[in-house]
């Protein structure tokens, strides 16, 4: 006969394993840093606030996809981006000028990626893994152009990182460019932003279950803009409220979904939207 105490321990152990296996994981990613100076913040002030929020919430291993040409003074960009790395986060290449690959030539786009990489190498020599994200998620106007650039990235040892949770946080921020962050209008827009992000997380989770019969290891695309940074504490609470565990990028990027081959160029809305489009076309 099994000892009752031993049986209780077994039940707790397997229940814990089950709960862990069922945990949805998500990494945070921030595009377009270092952010421009704005009505409310300098680039440095905004970066410090973002990083302080992540530190306060014990979150490490987020990834920042940066455009080193955002700030006219490259030395400023280097100093801001170095802060990301020194605070325990990853840094990825987002091109220097944020060009859309749908609108510029192969030569212009690849040269801009390499220029950004040259500046990134001045941030820290320990940036060993070369992560990349396409601006606007534009991967080419046709399959030939798309295959060319994916082959080029592979040749130069870049890991392409699409997002599974697509948001349009920057569109909410654009309305607040000249609005004081303490105003009622600003706070009202924050509520709209949170509702939109909540909807996009739900959509991503539904698409994952529908098309892959499981929850992938997600990563959410956010932007280093005022409204998002000011709302980050609430965004983190929102994610946790959906029983999602925020983890580091290295725990997420191992999911096989990020290696999935996509055979179309409707890539603007993130990876799960791409998969959905392919299955439904």
Which two structure tokens, joined as six digits, stand for 210? Answer: 């529908």
pLDDT in tens, 218-238: 999 999 999 999 999 999 999
Give residue 105's pLDDT.
97
Give residue 261's pLDDT.
85
Rounded Cα distance between 179 and 52, Å, is: 23
Task: Tally the domains of the chain.
Answer: 1
Range picked from 21-35, 37-51, 262-276 for highest mean pLDDT: 37-51
Q: What is the pTM of this model?
A: 0.90
> Model confidence at 3, in pLDDT bands (50, 70, 90)?
low
Q: Does the pLDDT value for residue 89 go beyond 70?
A: yes
Q: Which residue has the tokens 């321990």?
A: 9
Q: Do the Cβ atoms of 116 and 78 come closer than 8 Å?
A: no
Give residue 278's pLDDT.
86
Q: Does the pLDDT value for residue 194 go beyond 90?
A: yes
Q: Is residue 156 part of a domain?
A: yes
Return all residues near 27 (Cβ < 8 A) that are at least 6 apart: 61, 62, 63, 217, 218, 219, 220, 246, 247, 248, 249, 251, 252, 253
Cα 41 versus chain centre, distance = 22
Q: What is the mean pLDDT of residues 197-208?
A: 97
Which two structure tokens, joined as six digits, stand for 238? Answer: 């929102």
Q: Does the pLDDT value for residue 17 go beyond 80?
A: no
Q: What is the mean pLDDT of residues 233-244?
A: 97
Q: Does the pLDDT value for residue 16 go beyond 70?
A: no
Q: Is residue 166 part of a domain?
A: yes
Q: Does the pLDDT value for residue 216 go beyond 70?
A: yes
Q: Name which residue leads in pLDDT, 124 or 99.
A: 99
Give residue 109's pLDDT.
98
Q: What is the mean pLDDT of residues 117-123?
A: 94
Mean pLDDT of all residues in the chain? 91
Give residue 23's pLDDT.
86
Q: Is residue 99 part of a domain?
A: yes
Which two structure tokens, joined as six digits, stand for 11? Answer: 């039940």
Q: Is residue 13 part of a domain?
A: no
Give residue 262's pLDDT.
86
Which two structure tokens, joined as six digits, stand for 140? Answer: 């080419």
Q: Is residue 20 part of a domain?
A: no
Give residue 266's pLDDT.
85
Q: Name which residue leads in pLDDT, 127 or 40.
A: 40
Q: Is residue 254 part of a domain?
A: yes
Give residue 102's pLDDT.
96
pLDDT in tens, 35-83: 999 999 999 999 999 999 999 999 999 999 999 999 989 999 999 999 9
Q: Is residue 105 part of a domain?
A: yes
Return all residues near 69 (Cβ < 8 A) that are at least 6 apart: 77, 96, 97, 98, 115, 116, 119
User: Given phi > 0 = left and psi -120 to 50 = alpha, else beta, which region is 96?
Assistant: alpha
Q: Does the pLDDT value for residue 139 go beyond 80?
A: yes
Return all residues near 276 (Cβ < 8 A) that are at least 6 apart: 207, 210, 211
Q: Is residue 162 part of a domain?
A: yes
CATH, residue 220: 3.20.20.370
Find the helix packing angle between 43-56 and 74-86, rounded to 10°. Answer: 0
Give residue 4's pLDDT.
52
pLDDT in tens, 166-184: 999 999 999 999 999 999 9
> Model confidence at 10, in pLDDT bands (50, 70, 90)?
very low
Quote the domain boundaries for residue 248.
25-280
């Amino acid at each position: 006969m099994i000892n009752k105490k031993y049986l209780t321990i077994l039940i707790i152990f397997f229940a814990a394993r089950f709960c862990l296996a069922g945990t949805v994981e998500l990494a945070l990613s921030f595009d377009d840093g270092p952010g421009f100076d704005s009505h409310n913040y300098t680039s440095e002030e905004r970066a410090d606030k973002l990083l302080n929020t992540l530190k306060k919430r014990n979150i490490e291993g987020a990834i920042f996809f940066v455009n080193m040409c955002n700030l006219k003074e490259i030395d400023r960009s280097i100093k801001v981006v170095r802060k990301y790395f020194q605070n325990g986060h990853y840094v990825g290449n987002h091109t220097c000028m944020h060009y859309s690959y749908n609108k510029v030539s192969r030569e212009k786009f690849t040269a801009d990626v390499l220029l950004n990489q040259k500046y990134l190498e001045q941030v820290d020599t320990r940036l060993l893994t070369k992560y990349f994200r396409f601006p606007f998620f534009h991967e080419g106007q046709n399959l030939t152009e798309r295959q060319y650039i994916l082959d080029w990235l592979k040749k130069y040892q870049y890991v392409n990182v699409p997002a599974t949770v697509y948001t349009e946080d920057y569109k909410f921020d654009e309305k607040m460019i000249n609005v004081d962050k303490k105003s009622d209008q600003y706070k009202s827009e924050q509520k709209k932003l949170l509702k939109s992000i909540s909807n996009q997380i739900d959509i991503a989770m539904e698409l994952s279950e529908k098309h892959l019969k499981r929850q992938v290891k997600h990563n959410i695309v956010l932007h280093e803009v005022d409204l998002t940074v000011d709302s980050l504490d609430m965004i983190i609470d929102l994610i946790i409220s959906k029983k999602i565990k925020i983890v580091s990028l290295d725990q997420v990027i191992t999911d096989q979904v990020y290696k999935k081959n996509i055979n179309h160029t409707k890539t603007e809305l993130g990876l799960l939207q791409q998969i959905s489009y392919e299955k439904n076309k």
